[in-house]
Structure 1
Amino acid sequence: MLKYKNALRGFRNFRFDRGGTHSLYLVRHLNLGPPPVRRIKLGPTSRTNSSIDSTFKTDSEYIQRDAIKTAQIFQFHLGTRYELGILRDVPALLRVPSDASSVLTKRHFTEEVDRWIDACLADFSDMKEFVPPPLQLSPSLTVYHVCSDKSSLGLELEFGNSKSNSLNEELLEELTVAFDAISQMKRICGVVLTGRRAEKSIFCGGASITTLGQLSNHKQAEEFINSISTLCSLIRNTPQPVVAAIDGPCIGAGLEIAASCDIRVGSPKATFSMPEVLLGIPSVVEARLLCEIVGWGRTRHLLLTGQEWNMREAYQAGLITKEFSDTKRMLAWTKDFLQQCLGARADVIQKQKALMRDWETLSVDDGVARGAEVFADCFVSSSPQLLKDFVQLKKDQKSGRTEPG
């Protein structure tokens, strides 16, 4: 029972059950053991739950009953800010606004994700299979734990809606809020950005056709396109590295978002296109980034023809830097990358990202000079110790190889 209680303690502010559903999250989905329990309806959680004491016939069932009872510490009175949501067949913690407004604000994002991180960073060293539950911040945004150490965490930010993951005003606002908040959250070491993966995975279907059709004047059109540019700028200027894991079509403004990320990787389901000219509008704002990524010639071809690239073509053009045979391998690589960003390396990686952003606007000579300044600054931080650790590791490896076998 101790390991159940330890697992539950960090998430004591969350509720895993909503009336009539099953509060078997920790046993069934986090592999904490004992064997999976049978489905037991717990009844409404808005008030005291009296239906927990179902009949159990074996010692194992008694243990499972105790685990479920322990889980009841998550079930609070009516009005609690969390309730159960389902994504990817895995229960998620769902933010429920305490007021009448459902708008996700920067304050909401920061407070809820901070509390979630507190729980995720608890010590689960004796529970190797434990996976912290995801947190659904809105119907369009969910954060997933990717990796963590004692002080920092890498997360996956999954976005999307039911309309081909297209960017309407609401989704743009929520993504903007998310990256604005993440950029100031020191415990987040890196972000993997994904489109919602359902029966048909789509990274992003571009700007919502419905929203575009509702733009009736110059001001509205300018405000909407500037909102896309603002989001892309936030992604580019987020201190932490951002990886776009592309597992389906990446279209128009979605490709601009991907181009704003530091690294782009793709699965065989990934396709890339800028079809705006086929719809009677030009590709603008962060489409400009493509010139630096794939070159002017390929950018002209992509934008003027509206042609779609598959994963292989995108890789050969340099639009994505790694291609994978399936989604699982792609996400495994993103996890490995974020693990490299944990701990002392986080500061160095963020310095490297900031320096490369400076290089984009500086002359060659000024860029070289700026690099020298950053290098010198690193020797008043943790970099020297990392260097010493690396040198010692190489010595140890060499010593091990040269010792008689």
Structure 2
Amino acid sequence: MSSILFEKKDNFARLILNRPPVNTMNIEMMKEMGDAIESLHNDDHIKVIIIGSACRIFSAGFDMADHAPQRVWQLLESFHKIFLTLADLAKPTIAAVNGPALGGGCELATFCDLVLASENAKFGQPEIKVGFFPPIATVVFPHLVGRKKAMELILTGETIEAKDALSLGLINKIVPMEKLDDAVHEMASKISVNSGPVLQMTKKAMLSSEGLNFEEALRKARDIYLNHLMALEDTNEGLRAFVEKRTPVWKDR
């Protein structure tokens, strides 16, 4: 039985974690997730990736049975492949967090470009309490919440409520549980009306600037703009539509 549900509909790909009771992620599940995401590389129809949960918890993190010394390298390799593939793919991602997202589950949710959460959601990196640290969070959290707050969250291992995650900038919005799916669909729809390759290039320009000084970051963005964006049919269509005062008709190329 698969540990994920994966479907494509309405320009969206939905990857739903489905390993009851709390979506602990083992190596097999992570490989399924990585393969599903990788399959979207040549699918120009898909503009947005939505990651959610079929359980009452978004994810409780790693399955510790696969964290044994002889298997942990496979665990990290499989887990990190998910993030590297998402970054390389550059399609916008939305996390629909219905409940607690802890450990690797918190890393997966907060790595997404947009995070919509229910009031029941909680976020935390408790690894430090059992003698580990979260590799993805140590890299990503300082960019999301600043170094000092990242240190606090990771070194204490404390779990925070959705409202605190919102105030820190870890998530974008809190919505009632019964409206979470609708809110995610609405957000994905607002994004997907735009050109797919333009969305991807915009995300790449933003990601490529991280860690660079202003001049280097601007040079990267300018290179993408002049040498890639301006070569798109959709960019030229957007210019024509603006001049002709009409809605662009995207060809996604």
TM range (shorter): 0.7 to 0.9
SS at match of 1:379: helix
CA distance in 2, matches of 1:334, 1:388: 31
| Residue 345 (str. 1) matches residue 181 (str. 2) | no
Q: Which residue of 2 aligns with 1:188?
A: 46
- Greater Rg over alpha carbons, structure: 1
User: 1:231-267 CA distances to partner (integer Å, 9 max, x unpaired)?
Assistant: 2222222231111111111000111112322211211
Q: CA deviation at 1:341?
A: 4.0
Identical amino acids, percent of aligned pairs: 20
Classify the secondary structure of the residue corresponding to 2:39.
helix
User: 2:123 matched to 1:275?
Assistant: no
Superposition deviation, residue 323 in structure 1: 1.7
Name the residue aligned to 2:251: none
TM-score, scaled relative to structure 1? 0.56
Find out whether 1:385 has 2:237 as its counterpart.
yes
Residue 325 of structure 1: CA displacement? 2.6
Gaps of 5+ in 2: 248-253
CA distance in 1, matches of 2:69, 2:225: 51
Aligned AA (1:235)? L
Asked if 1 retains the 8 angstrom alpha-carbon contact of 2:110 and 2:171, the reply is no
Which residue identity does 1:156 align to in structure 2? Answer: R
CA distance in 2 between counterparts of 1:298 and 1:327 reads 31
Q: Does 1:161 align with 2:16?
A: no
1:289-328 deviation line (CA, Å, top 9, x unaligned): 0111011111111111111111100000000012213342
Q: Which one-letter code corresponds to 2:65 in the other structure?
A: T
1:307 corresponds, among 148, 158, 171, to 158
Q: Which amino acid aligns with 2:38?
A: D
Deviation at 1:333, TM superposition (A): 2.8
What are the Cα deviations for residues 91-134 of structure 1, in whole angstroms up to 9, with x where unaligned? Answer: xxxxxxxxxxxxxxxxxxxxxxxxxxxxxxxxxxxxxxxxxxxx
Q: Structure 1 residues 234, 145: CA separation in 2 closer, same or farther (over 3 Å shift)?
A: closer
Letter in 2 for 1:154: F
Q: Which has the higher contact order (CA 8 A, sep 6+)?
A: 2
Cα separation, partners in 2 of 1:183 and 1:269, compared to 1, 3 Å: farther
* Structure 2 partner of 1:241: 92
- The one of 162, 172, 185 aligned to 1:335: 185
**Whole-Å separation in 1 of the counterparts to 2:110 and 2:151:** 16
Cα 1:143/1:258, change in 2 over 3 Å:
same
* Structure with the higher fraction of residues in helix conformation: 2
Q: Which 4+ stretches in 1 moved above 6 angstroms?
A: none
What is the aligned residue count?
A: 244
